Amino acid sequence: MIPDRLEGAEWLDQPEVQAIFAALDGAAGKTRAVGGVVRDSLIGRMREHTDIDMATELLPVVVMQRAKAAGISAYPTGIEHGTVTLRLDATIVEVTTLRQDVVTDGRRAEVAFGTDWVADAARRDFTINALYCFADGRLFDPLGGAGDLINGRVRFIGDAAQRIAEDGLRVYRFFRFSASHGGERFDPEGLSACQAAADELDHISRERVGAEMLRMLALPRVATTLALMDRLGLVRLAPGAVPALKRYEALGGQSAAARLAMLGRDDLARRQADWRLSKALVGHAERVAESSALLRRGDVGWAAYRFGEDAVEGLAVAAAEEGWLREQLAELAREMGRLPVAPLPVGGADLEARGMKPGPDMGAALAIMERAWVESEFSASKDALLERIFH
């Protein structure tokens, strides 16, 4: 059964959301919630921080005037495209005037504002994203998106090739939504159109592609999707990555940084450039990869000492890449948990106090004591460590 309204959607009952609806003629249906917040509410899959988007028949300038009159802060964040951001207390809502495409070239669209809800739905990417709801929770589903959503079908609106020609990023979004909402099943028409367009996507900004890929890498299940994208040339995977990714998912892992490490640790610099990844994320992936390498050699103490919490992710990556049994993984996890990891209790000042000058000899001495510290499972005393050097 396909419901005709949202039930139990906490965001919809918020006084701030209802106040925004009221200011924008929501009771008359001139403003409706749209997109992801409606889609995921319908199947009970709300994220902790969910963006609230609304569509409206009102022109952007009218939206701003109505908001100001109701004591709601308004910001023209994308007013040239019809988008105004409203804020009431801690609630933020993006409101976009109904649009229909006039001209598209695959990078940008020239749009006209209007009042036709079906035309607005028709310019969106997938039927599951063309779902609207009124202020009272009643659904407006002009393209059958609710049925597709419940059946796990990610279907382009209208002609798939035309939708992709309007915005090539929709190829990546097709795979992401097929993983997140389609159970890694792929609509044949959509897949065929994506395959045909795979070699014609160089014009898409790297930032946009990277944002889609990172959202994909944080999903619970994505290995089958990545394998298909690899075959189409949309992503490059290291040899053996797909079986390891599937084992990682079976362990319950869904870290984007861990998956980046598994895609090919030697390719992180290239992926950083290709996807415009942040240095922080790439650094995280590198730490996971390096800790995984230590753990595969059985150096649990070194992994925990050098990489701390990142070694926990490294342990899951090592288990997935090596195909460890759960018992082996559990034993190493217990061993790591038992270690009283602590910083090295001696430093250069202690060596200088004993007459050693800064330089290569001091560096070598610190390395010797560090090794002894880890091998003692972080229990050796400061005097015992210094005795290794000044015996």
63 and 133 share a domain? yes
Q: Which two tokens stand for residue 255?
A: 């870290």
Whether 128 and 258 map to the same domain: the answer is: no
The single-letter DSSP state of residue 357 is P
Closest CA to 224 of 345, 107, 31, 216: 216
In this predicted structure, what is the pLDDT of residue 61? Answer: 94
Q: What CATH number is given to the structural domain containing 210? A: 1.10.3090.10
pLDDT 10s digits, 336-382 = 999 999 999 999 999 999 889 999 999 999 999 999 999 999 999 99
Same domain, 62 and 134: yes
Same-domain pairing of 56 and 93: yes
- Regions in the chain scoring below 70 on pLDDT: 48, 101-111, 265
| Of residues 240, 230, 267, the one with CA closest to residue 323 | 240
Structural domain harbouring 43: 1-151
Tokens of 289: 């990869």
Distance, in Å, from the CA atom of 324 to the CA atom of 40, rounded to the nearest integer, reads 36
Same domain, 101 and 38: yes
CATH code, 144: 3.30.460.10
| Same domain? 304 vs 365 | no
CA dist., res. 47 & res. 45, Å (int)? 7
- In whole angstroms, how large is the CA radius of gyration of the chain? 27
Number of domains within the chain? 4
- For tokens 């007459």, the residue is 355
Same domain, residue pair 77 and 131: yes
